[in-house]
Amino acid sequence: MSDRPPYLVERNPGYFEYQLPISVKLVVDHHGRVPLLKNERDEWELPGGKLEVGESPEQGACREVAEELTYTDEHGKLGVFGYDEVPDLHMPAPYKATIARWRDLVRSSTLDVSP
């Protein structure tokens, strides 16, 4: 009988991951612009990644964004784009839709997105 939850898989001795990877992404508004990262398929995508065991979605998103946006961009894999540039970027449609919804929310409210 194992003490670990059934949704965890031991990948290497002592290293566990979720059986079904859980990924979190985040739209970061930086003065009306959105930072994006280029992935291995040469597509732009939102910062984020897999949750680590024991992390909440909020903790995972904060950790991933901190890791990815402090990345030294020596290979052209980090870009900051205006909302109006996003529709023309090579990136998954759901990410474009999420960014558009955030843009509309920011523009239609008094939501303070200043740092």
Q: Phi and psi of 50, rounded to 5°?
A: -75, 145
Looking up tokens 């523009």 gives 107
Q: What pLDDT does residue 1 have?
A: 47
Q: 46-88 pLDDT, tens per residue?
A: 888 888 888 888 888 888 888 887 755 555 677 888 888 988 9
Tell me whether strands 33-38 and 8-12 are parallel, antiparallel or unpaired: unpaired
- CA distances to 72, 78, 94 from 59, in Å: 22, 22, 22
- In this predicted model, which residue has the larger pLDDT, 98 or 6? 98
> DSSP label at 52?
P
Q: What is the mean pLDDT of residues 94-102?
A: 88
Average model confidence (pLDDT) across the chain: 79
